[in-house]
Amino acid sequence: QVQPVESGGGSVQAGGSLRLSCLASVYTNARYSMGWFRQAPGKEREAVAAVDSDGSTSYADSVKGRFTISKDNAKNTLYLEIHSLKPEDTAMYYCSVQYGVDANAMRTRSDFGYWGQGTQVTVSS
């Protein structure tokens, strides 16, 4: 398993859009989930969106309707389309690969699964 590598973050104005990418190889003969998490300064890491090996997805209530997660298995890449960005979306966004868990059960602990270094999203009002 190779550590995931995120990209695509940046500074945008409220209402803008971004697409985050995560390059991550997975063992496709095992059940796995891939997800996006975020952590703002002074706050705990929270799950944002996830997709499992069956294609089931899970979203945090705060991002439903604005964020869309998808994966391209041929490119070993996970995406997060973000629209209608709000200042409260400002955070470091992390990608994680975890085995043996469903999309709605991914862990926020850094010692569980595989985690990237993160990509910063900053939204100004």
Question: For 106-122, what is the mean pLDDT?
Answer: 96
| Residue (of 10, 6, 9, 4) closest to 21 by Cα position | 6
119-124 vs 91-99, strand pairing mode: antiparallel
Instruction: Confirm if 119 and 93 have CB atoms less than 8 A apart.
Output: yes
Chain segment 53-101, per-residue pLDDT in tens? 999 999 999 999 999 999 999 999 999 999 999 999 999 999 999 999 9
As a whole number of angstroms, the distance between CA 15 and CA 123 comes to 9
Please write the tens of the pLDDT for every residue from 19-51.
999 999 998 889 999 999 999 999 999 999 999
Give, as one character, the DSSP assignment of residue 106: -
Q: How far is CA 30 from the centre of its chain?
A: 20
Q: What is each CA distance from 114 to 3, 24, 88, 97, 119, in whole angstroms? A: 6, 9, 26, 5, 15
Please give the pLDDT value at position 28: 83
Closest by CA to 14, choosing from 70, 82, 68, 75, is 82
